Amino acid sequence: MAAKHVYFVGTAGCGKSTLTHAFQLWLQNQGYDGITVNLDPGAENLLYPPDVDIRDWVRLNEIMEEYGLGPNGAQIAAADMMALNIKEVAQVISGFDTDYVLLDTPGQMELFTFRQSSKVVLSELSGESAVIAYLFDPAIARSPNGYVSSLMLAATVQFRLSQPMLTLLSKSDLLSEKERERIQLWSEDFYALLNSLTEEEVDAQTNVSVEFLQALETIGAGGRIVPVSADTGEGLEDIYTLAQQVLEGGEDIGS
């Protein structure tokens, strides 16, 4: 059976790399196989050893030196070079006999989502068997305005990449129980979100409506957000269950 691919995507520092590794360890503890793939050519001091590493093909600091580019120009060149090498990367990945391929994407999210090369990368690596795990950063999503902004970003990623998406509330251990519940409520009830916006954000209440929020959900982002933590292990099982549901209609790997 083809391996299932989960892309961990989100804004800089939201916890993608840590969660990729934590989820791999969780899978292994449950007796499943999962490999990790680092897709960030600019990653420095990666805290886990990826099984496959894009830096074996493309390295940001080498591109900066070789072409005399700054970090942003080099990121764009790196994204294109990644696409040029992706068939070889796919071949290496397919050499692993594994249930899950967990892909850790670059911190500069716009490079992964907006460049045409990302579509090439996605179709070569995972074809139809992909789900995007979109991480909401709790430092941003804890305010109503930040939550709506995060939702818009998630919708943009979904719209751009056209893959099924799970929305995860990253680093949930940093939030109080009350904050977690409030954010979960927002994800399930746009009227509650709009109420919080109107009560708490003087600038934002005039131009956001329930219809606007519903439209974001129609694109395919949104839905019930799942709190996850690499530190406490909260929600790791939910990622598995949801990914199984999306990719296999709920069947368990073993069945």
Ligand X SMILES: Nc1nc2c(ncn2[C@@H]2O[C@H](COP(=O)(O)OP(=O)(O)OP(=O)(O)O)[C@@H](O)[C@H]2O)c(=O)[nH]1
Nearer to Mg ion, 55 or 180 (CB): 55
Q: Does 15 bind ligand X (CB under 6 A)?
A: yes
For residue 104, the minimal CB distance to ligand X (Å) is 7
**Are 121 and 39 contacting, i.e. CB atoms less than 8 angstroms apart?**
yes
CB of 171 to ligand X, least distance (A): 4
Contact 47, 173 (CB under 8 A): no
Task: Show the site string, 147-186: x = touches ligand X by CB under 6 A, - = not.
Answer: ------------------------x-xx------------
Q: Report the distance separating Cα 46 and Cα 40, nearest Å.
A: 10
> In a 10 Å sphere around its CB, with 0-12 CB exposed, 13-18 middle and 19+ buried, how is residue 174 labelled?
middle
At 244, give phi and psi (nearest 5°): -60, -45
Beta strands in the chain (DSSP E): 4-10, 34-38, 52-53, 100-104, 130-136, 165-169, 226-227
Quick note: the x/- pattern for Mg ion over 118-157, rule CB under 5 A, is ----------------------------------------
* Minimum distance from residue 15 beta carbon to Mg ion (Å): 8
Choose, by CB under 6 A, the member of 5, 6, 7, 18 that binds ligand X: 18
Phi-psi region of 220 (alpha: psi -120 to 50; beta: other; left: phi over 0): left
Please identify, using beta-carbon distances, which residue of 8 and 186 lies nearer to ligand X: 8
193, two tokens: 């979100």
Q: How far is the CB of 55 from ligand X (least distance, A)?
A: 13
Question: Of 10-18, 146-154, 235-243, 245-253, which segment contacts ligand X by CB under 6 A?
Answer: 10-18
17 scored as a contact of ligand X (CB under 6 A) = yes
β-sheet bridge partners, residue 165: 132
Q: Say whether residue 36 binds Mg ion (CB under 5 A).
A: no
Positions in the binding site for Mg ion (CB under 5 A)? 16-17
